[in-house]
Amino acid sequence: MQKFLTGAAVAALSVAFVAEASATEWNASVWGKRRAFTEHVEKLAELVSEKTDGEFTINVSYGGLSKPRENLDGIEIGAFEMAQFCAGYHADKNPSITVLELPFLGVNTLEEEVAVSHAVYDHPAVADDLGRWNAKLLMTSPMPQYNIVGTGDPRDELAEFDGMRVRATGGLGEAFKTVGGVPTSVPATEAYNAMESGVVDTVAFAPHAHLSFGTINRADWWTANLNPGTVNCPVVVNVDAYEALSPEHKEALDSSVDEAIAHYVDNYNQLLKRWEDVLEEKGVTKVEISDEQLDAFRAKAADPIREQWIADMSAQGLPAQELYDIVVTTLQEQRAGN
């Protein structure tokens, strides 16, 4: 046997070592199954791999890495490099972004939801808030206004919400409380069972989730225009993992966000076009809430909950009024631009 490697062999090994060292593999923790809500994560993984010739890969795991409520904890300890979570699952862990879950903010489109979310995410106080969990906000998961499905007789007046057990998180849950509802914040993956077993009477979701988690299959009716608000579900990355990326891989990730969001929005808008057909196919009655009832709901929920949120968050040292104002001014700018 030769005692020493030839120069060519050493060079070959060196090239192989460099290639090995430059490869980056991340794990992303989401839940449920692939659906409209996760399309931007899937698209991001696809784009990053394409831009780096397969050197940077993101493996998307649907529940195999963590429970939905524990994704932020997993990011903190570096159990995985990327994760999706919803602010309302643990408002105490991410109080700054709960401004985006206040009821009746007036956000009408997915594009507006992207704009207000990213404007809030860019605020230094929000970065510091999530930084406590070693998390860097990467992109939002824009969702349309939530509405509720239920069984039995339709509820189209506020008086009928009194005592109604509703699966609703964050600001939505607080909104239903103001009209006598009894919110519970079970994870999305448990909503069908909660509805089936009678733990809840109704479930508040965006359309994709009613489809993905099967609650539409138990529904007799759907509130077509209640539109009390939505939830905010960011995608975050572990700060240490992000900072450890090579400049090329960091650029590949950052430059893919806008395209991933655009793909998500286009895909979701296609789903919304099909929603009416789904309701008809499943025999679900569309319930239209009167303007009078909607005005009464807003009067009870919008201003009081917002003012209480501002007071509570200010007491925690957050620039609450400033964060709320960012939402308002961003909406105005977005509409002026259109």
Residues 130 and 154 in one domain: no
Indicate whether 12 belongs to any domain: no
Q: What is the pLDDT of residue 252?
A: 98
Contact 168, 183 (CB under 8 A): yes
Indicate whether 122 belongs to any domain: yes
Token pair listed for 192: 């069908």
Domain end, chosen from 247, 271, 295, is at 271
What does the pLDDT look like over 194-217, one tens digit per residue? 999 999 999 999 998 999 899 999
Average pLDDT, stretch 56-67?
97
Residue 5 has pLDDT above 80, yes or no: no
Q: Which domain holds residue 123?
A: 25-141+231-271
Average pLDDT, stretch 313-329?
98
Residues 58 and 183 in one domain: no
Q: What is the pLDDT of residue 11?
A: 46
Q: What is the pLDDT of residue 309?
A: 97
Indicate whether 20 belongs to any domain: no
Residue 41 has pLDDT above 90, yes or no: yes
What does the pLDDT look like over 222-254, one tens digit per residue? 999 999 999 999 999 999 999 999 999 999 999
Residues 198 and 52 in one domain: no
Residue 20 has pLDDT above 50, yes or no: no
Q: What is the pLDDT of residue 19?
A: 44
Tally of domains in the chain: 2
Q: Which of 17-26, 48-57, 188-197 has the lowest mean pLDDT?
A: 17-26
**What confidence tier does 14 reach under pLDDT thresholds 50, 70, 90?**
very low
Residue 123 has pLDDT above 60, yes or no: yes
Average pLDDT, stretch 124-142?
98
Angle between helices 110-121 and 320-337 in degrees, nearest 10: 140
Three-class SS string for the chain?
Answer: CCCCCCHHHHHHHHHHHHHHHHCEEEEEEECCCCCHHHHHHHHHHHHHHHHCCCCEEEEEEECCCCCHHHHHHHHHHCCCCEEECCHHHCCCCCHHHHHHHCCCCCCCCHHHHHHHHHHHHCCHHHHHHHHCCCEEEEECCCCCCCEEEECCCCCCCHHHHCCCEEECCHHHHHHHHCCCCEEECCCHHHHHHHHHHCCCCEEEECHHHHHHCCHHHHCCEEECCCCCCCCCCCEEEEHHHHHCCCHHHHHHHHCCHHHHHHHHHHHHHHHHHHHHHHHHHCCCEEECCCHHHHHHHHHHHHHHHHHHHHHHHHHCCCCHHHHHHHHHHHHHHHHHHC
Provide the CATH number for the domain around residue 37. Answer: 3.40.190.170
Residue 2 has pLDDT above 50, yes or no: no
Residues 175 and 258 in one domain: no
> Cα separation of 171 and 168, whole Å?
8
> Cα separation of 282 and 20, whole Å?
52
Average pLDDT, stretch 285-295?
95
Residues 173 and 293 in one domain: yes
On the 0-12 / 13-18 / 19+ scale of CB atoms within 10 A, 271 is middle
Q: What is the pLDDT of residue 6?
A: 53
CA angle 193, 198, 202 (to 5 degrees): 85
Residue 12 has pLDDT above 60, yes or no: no
Indicate whether 5 belongs to any domain: no
Q: What is the pLDDT of residue 170?
A: 87
Q: Nearest-CA neighbor of 45 among 29, 32, 67?
A: 29
**What confidence tier does 13 reach under pLDDT thresholds 50, 70, 90?**
very low
Indicate whether 215 belongs to any domain: yes
Average pLDDT, stretch 7-31?
65
305 vs 21, more confident: 305
Residues 294 and 320 in one domain: yes
Residues 35 and 134 in one domain: yes
Domain end, chosen from 215, 247, 271, is at 271
Residues 154 and 249 in one domain: no
Residues 162 and 100 in one domain: no
Residues 198 and 294 in one domain: yes
Residue 70 has pLDDT above 60, yes or no: yes
Indicate whether 263 belongs to any domain: yes
Identify the residue whose tokens are 């593999």. Answer: 25
Domain end, chosen from 239, 254, 271, is at 271
The pTM of this model reads: 0.86
Indicate whether 155 belongs to any domain: yes
Residue 276 has pLDDT above 50, yes or no: yes
**What confidence tier does 337 reach under pLDDT thresholds 50, 70, 90?**
confident
Indicate whether 254 belongs to any domain: yes
Mean pLDDT over the full length of the chain: 92
Residues 226 and 323 in one domain: yes
**What confidence tier does 22 reach under pLDDT thresholds 50, 70, 90?**
confident
Residues 151 and 132 in one domain: no
Q: What is the pLDDT of residue 215?
A: 95
